[in-house]
Structure 1
Amino acid sequence: MIIGRRRAETMDFAPGMAEVLAEDARLSPLGDMAAATFWAEGARHVADIRDLTFEGAAGQAQAARLYRSREGRTPVLLYIHGGGWSGGSIALNERAARELAAESGWSVLSISYRLAPAHPFPAGLDDCRAALAWLRREGPALGLDTDRIAVGGTSAGANLAMATALAEKQQGLAKLLLFYGVFGADFSTPSYERFAAGPGLTRERMQHLFSLYDPQGERDREPLITPLLADLAGLPPALLIAAECDVLCSDSERMADALRRAGVETSLHIEPGVTHGFINRGRLLPAATAALHRAAGFLAGRP
């Protein structure tokens, strides 16, 4: 099903979206920590937050943060941040992680991974797979139900989440939660054409990010870079949440169609009047909180 579709040609912003874009412009020269602090203010309380490390695929220590929604054994979402495979952080996703944990009753393990261009494909993906293996080993001692692990992420993190699910298809993941993901490498889709110059993420920027992550140019034949090329049969139920005013909106539409054709239980929600990266902007943008509430309901099994 497709929920909440509006004609993108109107470019009508959701309440608060113009203010978010202005605030992002103000924060940009101040760096990630200033942005993370601003957007996390007022985030939901959760029962416990613990900073952890796991061993990455090359034996290196990688940071992770566990958000516990409640006492007792809980299912867990492995959450992979976005940032064009070359940036982003756990801290920049604090608000989303807290909201998902508080609303769903699941715990959320938000992870880091090696970044391009110093570490191009498949380094980041290999670290995500290492995180999943670590979670399966260590999760029970952390009070996590490792029989119910979902994988999710935002933007490039949604790409890595999908690639992790494809690479670990036999591991019996519970669900996929994918926010405005990068699933194809076709820069002429309707949303790429409509929003080539923004607002927010641009076509030129996406082309540059692909060149950092995939300097060998494998994306036209490698499904772990371009999941729309993959055999999607056997994946767990998926919820895709896209931003209407985003070059990547068509990627989510095409992935939802491909998942359904492969027999995967799939829902697609396109949030009207918002731009790429919106879910951590709930301080000013009610639509962000609403989208996270929808995502939490999917995890919890609410209709």
Structure 2
Amino acid sequence: MTTSTTTTPTTTAPDASAAGTWQLGDRTVNRMGFGAMRLIGTLGSATVRPREDSLAVLRRAVELGVNHIDTAAFYFFPTRSANELIGAALQPYGDDLVITTKIGASQSRDGAFEPYARPDQLRGQVEENIRQLGLDQLDVVNLRWGTGLTTEPGSVAEHVGALTELRDAGLVRNIGISNVLPEQLTEALEIAPIVCVQNRYGLTERADDGLLARCGELGIAFVPFFSVGASVAGAIPDGTHHDAGAAEVAAIAAAHGATPAQVRLAWTLHRGPHVLAIPGTGSVAHLEQNVAAASLRLSDDDLAVLDAIAPAAD
């Protein structure tokens, strides 16, 4: 086996471009991005982060080369929304910044998903994101399927068709899908080009190994959420094994002078050049650790150990 001696940099600032880039539709993004869900606080919790802390995280992310931010209008607390924070921190937006948002689902103030939007309601959700973000057009809109945190069957055709109409009207630039099954990707591709699939996936959440590989074959970005661990209280159903392999991850982290979270992020990025990371945080220090994971190169031996923690999906 070959090995790599490159580890997380300690003397230079983290650089989101260190993991390379990917073409997200007609936009180029660094593979290490940022997820805005935790900007306000932990969803399902009553604790709201100080506003200035959230603004500082967003500004620092851009300074470190992050040019792909994932958000949604339903990332909100009673007094604050992720979209509003993004606009306040980053406007006027840089030409290279790509903001990806999600529609379809709505979320109540206690973190639960509400009934799914009808196709005719998607325009209102797109316009809400445009207004909150201060944009004329959304770079990428993901159709988030289902009313829960697990994938659900069903036809996505009418919803993707509605998004295609919004693209043709100039409100949407690129279309993605989220929380979907492989057959739903197939159905969506029959209607419109799909630039990304955003599903739950990580070191111990590998049910979508096949879908990840298929996206790579098709040139579609695969964007895992919860790739480090549960980001919402109760997000990982009881009985799953997201803590499996903690000792192995810790040992590899120690060998590289990294943190376990950085190892999990690096493993995710090693899954393919089309895999994009969108870890979220409300802490500048944690943000810098996440971005530094873009530089972490795992050896073949490291990957063999990590791959054995959870069996690959059939």
TM above 0.5, yes or no, is no
Larger Rg, first or second structure (1 or 2): 2
The structure with the largest strand share of the pair is 1
- Shorter-chain TM-score bucket reads 0.3 to 0.5
RCO comparison, higher one (Cα < 8 Å, 6+): 2
